[in-house]
Amino acid sequence: MLSYTLKRLAQAIPTMLIVITIAFFLMRIAPGGPFDGERALPPEIEANLMAAYHLDEPLWQQYFRYLGNLAQGDFGPSFKYKDFTVTELILQGFPVSLQIGGLAMLLALAIGLPLGIIAALKRNTAVDYAVMGTALAGIAVPNFVVAPVLALVFGVMLGWLPAGGWNDGALPNLILPVIALSIQQIAYIARMMRASMIEVMGSHYIRTARAKGLTEAEVVWRHALRPALLPVTSYLGPAIAGIITGSVVIEQIFGIPGIGRYFVQGALNRDYTLVMGTVVFYGALIVLMNLIVDLIYSALDPQIRYDD
């Protein structure tokens, strides 16, 4: 297991290098620069700024300088957030995004898995149609539509919950963004769980278990659930990384100071180092989550083993 883990981490290095290279040059090719939004500066001051951030160097030299700094764990200074490094901004925003994304994924699993199981066991009944119809609607309606509607109804019209703001992660401020972020994930997980459970329930070993006189509940929980979870587990790797760091719209709508909000502001301000830092962090998180998912596979399916 240890050798497999180290091998996977080594294989991630060229993947991350490709991601870094593409993001670096795309940022530089995009029109505008980090200081274009400033008021007109005297040429000598602008030249000093460019030199201070090494933007006066050839592009290839900037690229290798960035790789060298990154190898030392240095994401560089932010061009727009004065007196802050990109590492400091990520460390400020990530716990917020982690809290919201983690709660949203837990809610999605708590609701989506039972719904998918129920729909599979009640296949082609009114219950199945209702669950899958609702799930399809959850997939079709994007979260940038759901979030303003929730804020308008429960925050403005009814006044039950705050329509925005963070308030140090107080529970009332968490409810609406977590629900808005989890709706699509609930729908995806429910549909995947239903399809996987239907396939597993038609397997030969399930028929054998029934022939031995086991109750339907015992068949589901002791024999069908673990293999049915495999496709969902595979989906969870990138989904967890995406929901944690990719809640850009939700954080903007509810005014939450997470990493997604920093990414948007960095892109709008041409803050090269901030955008690059969030991209590298996001890529590393995806690699890590996929590795964790592979290791969980061996716990769910005894046939899967990673030999040292």
- Quote the tokens at residue 299: 């716990």
Q: Taking residues 62-80, what's their average pLDDT?
A: 83
Give me the pLDDT at residue 110, please.
93
* Stronger pLDDT, 298 or 206, i.e. the higher one: 206
Match 């502001």 to its residue by tokens: 265
CA distance 177 to 154: 12
Q: Taking residues 301-306, what's their average pLDDT?
A: 59
Give me the pLDDT at residue 168, please.
82
Task: Say if CB 77 and CB 273 are below 8 A apart.
Answer: yes
Give me the pLDDT at residue 306, please.
56
Overall number of domains in the chain? 1
Helices 143-150 and 171-201: angle between axes, nearest 10 degrees: 140
The one-letter code for the residue type at 210 is R
**Taking all residues of the chain, what is their mean pLDDT, rounded to a whole number?**
81
Helices 59-71 and 2-29: angle between axes, nearest 10 degrees: 150
Classify each residue of 121-157 as buried b or exposed e, where b means 16 or more C-beta atoms within 10 Å of its C-beta: beeeeeebeebbeebeebeeeebeebbbebbeebbee
CA distance 181 to 105: 8
- Quote the tokens at residue 134: 């609702």
Q: Taking residues 226-241, what's their average pLDDT?
A: 80
- Quote the tokens at residue 13: 């290095």
Decide if pLDDT at 246 tops 60.
no
In terms of Cβ atoms closer than 10 Å to its own Cβ (0-12, 13-18, 19+), residue 33 is: middle
Residue-wise pLDDT tens digits, 174-215? 899 999 888 888 999 999 999 988 888 888 878 887 888 777
Residue-wise pLDDT tens digits, 92-149? 888 888 888 889 989 999 999 999 999 988 888 998 899 889 888 888 888 778 888 8
Q: Taking residues 221-239, what's their average pLDDT?
A: 81
Q: Taking residues 274-297, what's their average pLDDT?
A: 80
Task: Say if CB 245 and CB 97 are below 8 A apart.
Answer: yes
Q: Taking residues 243-260, what's their average pLDDT?
A: 78
Decide if pLDDT at 35 tops 90.
no
Q: Taking residues 261-283, what's their average pLDDT?
A: 81
Name the residue range of residue 174's domain.
Answer: 1-308
Model pTM score? 0.78
**What is the DSSP secondary-structure string of 120-163?**
HHTTTSHHHHHHHHHHHHHHHS-HHHHHHHHIIIIIIIS-SS-S
Q: How far is CA 70 from CA 12, 125, 259, 279, in A?
A: 15, 55, 19, 13
- Check which CATH number belongs to the domain holding 112 and give it: 1.10.3720.10
85 has which bridge partners? 77
